[in-house]
Amino acid sequence: MGRIDARRYLRRWESLLVLFLLVVLAYNITQVSNFLTAQNQANLFQLSIEKAIVALIMTFVIISGEIDLSVASMMALSAAVVARLNESRMEHVLAIVVALAVGLGLGALNGFFVANVGINSLAVTLAGYIGYRGLAQVFIEDNSVGGFPGWFTRLGQKGIIGPITFSIILFFIMAAVAGVILHYSGFGRRVYTVGSNARVAIFSGVPVARTRIIIFATSGLVSAIAGILYAARLGAVRSSTAQGFELDIITIVLLGGVSIFGGVGSMVGVLLSIFLVLNLRNGMTIAGITGNTQTGVIGLLLILSVLIPNLVSRAQGRFRRTPVEPQFQAPRPETVQSAG
């Protein structure tokens, strides 16, 4: 069931997000004493910056009609690679390069299985979700490995401009680049096309397989970057690093109005969603609400943001909904079945 006018749909969604954001900001500013301090604003970003960075590429993945469950495991793996190589006295910059290459390569491998072997991405990246963290375990077992060079941990922890860290600056640069690519470039156009209707894309000479591989490879690379930044911020790595991040990241992207069925979504929506989630978390943390409850509130927000428009439009009787939503990219090819 394609959304006939995606643009209008998104605009309505984004307005809703702005409204939510304003409410949260109003609450934070009035109720939280130190909310507007530069330090707090920097903290607000810094504490979830890795998730925010990965959410940028996850936007591409989901708009292209796929999903990548392996991002958090990839973060752990890249961090583990850096830690392991650092421990064995490899030049640290070189270790980072190796970790990035691992991310790019395994991301491309995900892409290969999705694009060239034709397996559902949920199944492929479920394997990656388990396997990549498994590889991290192979490298560092259940140890906590640190001992990074000073410049590396400083990069992750200390502000470059005032309290603003390298990660935050990198995030804003990447967000700008991602926005331009998604909305203004030919590649971005292809991402939407592949996500809307891969068959039409093939008939139109769009390099569908290549587009998918590039998206997944970039997803691996960006996750590796985020993992390395996370290692720099924490100063030590365990194989359980970033566990559970994938669901947070996907939640952020879906809350940003990106359709799980592909083809619909905007970078503005995702950025609004990131700001909303970060502010919500910050306000709640300062108000002493624990991490679990925060996740629950965001989960509730996610459900409501789909449910309310549904109920409203049903009340208006404008269209009937199908009783069973296809879960992932219908229609199903008959010749090959996806998972199992």
Partner 1 sequence: MTDRLLRHIRPEQFRELILLVVTIGALLFFWTQIPNYFDPRSINRLTVGLAIPLVVAIGQMMVVLTRNIDLSVSSTVGLTAYVVGTFLTRNEVSPWVAAVMAMLLGCALGAINGLLVAYGGVPAIITTLGTLAIYRVVLVEISGAKTVTTGDLPGWIGSLPSKTLVTVRDYDLRLMVAIALIVTIAGYLVLRFLPFGRRLYAIGSNPDAARMAGLPARRDVFCAFVICGGLAGLAGFMYLVRFGNITVTAAQGLELQVVAAVVVGGASILGGQGTIFGVLLGVMLIEILQQSLLRWSGLSEFVKDAILGLLILIAITVDAVVLGRLREAWVNTRRRDRAAARLVMEGGADGAD
Partner 2 sequence: MKRRTFILSAAVGPFAPAILASVATAQSPEAGSGGAAAPGQEVNMMLLPKFLGIAVFDQANQGAQEAHAELENPGKLDFVGPTAENSVAGQIEFVTNAPAGGYNVVMLSNNSGDQIAPAAIAADEAGTKVVTWDSPIPGAEGESLFVAQVDFDETGTVMAEMARSILGEDGGKFAILSATPDAANQNAWIASMEEALATDEYANLELLEVVYGDDQSEKSYEQALALVDKHPDMELIMAPTTVGIVAAAKALQDEGLCDSIKVSGLGLPDEMSSYLENGCSPEFALWSFVDLGYLTYHASYALATGAIEGVEGDTFEAGRLGTYTIEADPTRPDTGALRIVMGPFSVYNADNPGV
Partner 3 sequence: MADLAPDIAPARMNGSDESSVVPVLEMRGISKRFGATQALSDVSLQLSRGEVHALLGENGAGKSTLIKIMTGIESPDTGEILLDGQEIHLASSQDAQRYGIAAMYQEPMIFPDLSVAENIFIGHRNRGKFVDRRRMESEARDVLSRLGVEIEVDEPARGLTLAEQQTVEIAKAISLDTRVLIMDEPTASLSAHEVRRLFQIIENLRSEGVAVLFISHRMDEVFEISDKVTILRDGQWISTRPRTELTPRMAIRDMVGRQVVEIFHRERKPPGDVRLAVEGLSKTGAFEDISFEIRAGEVLGFAGLVGARRTDVGLALFGIAPADRGTVTLDGQPANVSSPRQALERGIAYSTEDRRQLGLIMGQSISNNIVLPSLQRFLDKFGLVKRDEERTVAETYRMLLKIRAASVDVPTGALSGGNQQKVVISKWLETRPKVLILDEPTRGIDVGAKVEVHQLIDELAGQGMAILLISSDLPEVLAMSDRILIMREGHQMAILDHTEATQEKVLSLAMGQASELDDVDARAALRAVDGLIDAGSSAGD
Binding-site string for partner 2 from residue 33 to residue 52, where x marks contact by CB under 8 A and - marks none: xxx-x-xx--x--xx-----
Stretch that binds partner 3, among 31-39, 160-168, 204-212, 297-305 (CB under 8 A): 204-212
Closest approach of partner 2 to the CB of residue 256, in Å: 22
Residues 165-194 within binding reach of partner 3 (CB under 8 A): 180, 184-187, 189-190, 192-193
How far apart, in Å, are the Cα atoms of 223 and each of 243, 254, 284? Answer: 13, 18, 27
Amino acid identity at 33: S
Nearer to partner 2, 40 or 338 (CB): 40
The count of chain residues that interact with partner 1, using the rule CB under 8 A, is: 62
CB-facing half-sphere around the CA of 271: CA atoms within 13 A? 12
CB-facing half-sphere around the CA of 231: CA atoms within 13 A? 36
**Cα(218)–Cα(213) distance, integer angstroms:** 8
Which does residue 40 bind out of partner 3, partner 1, partner 2, none, counting CB within 5 to 8 angstroms by kind? partner 2
Stretch that binds partner 1, among 29-37, 39-47, 133-141, 193-201 (CB under 8 A): 133-141
Q: Look up residue 104 and give its DSSP letter.
A: H
Can you tell me which of 234, 267, 268, 276 binds partner 2, judged by CB under 8 A?
Answer: 234
Stretch that binds partner 3, among 15-23, 73-81, 108-116, 290-298 (CB under 8 A): 108-116
Binding-site string for partner 3 from residue 253 to residue 292, where x marks contact by CB under 8 A and - marks none: ----------xx----------------------------
Q: Dihedral of CA 50/55/61/62: which sign?
A: positive
Tell me if 340 contacts partner 1 by CB under 8 A. yes
**Angle of helix 150-157 versus helix 166-184 axis, rounded to 10:** 70
**Cα(201)–Cα(191) distance, integer angstroms:** 10
Q: Which two tokens stand for residue 53?
A: 């960075």
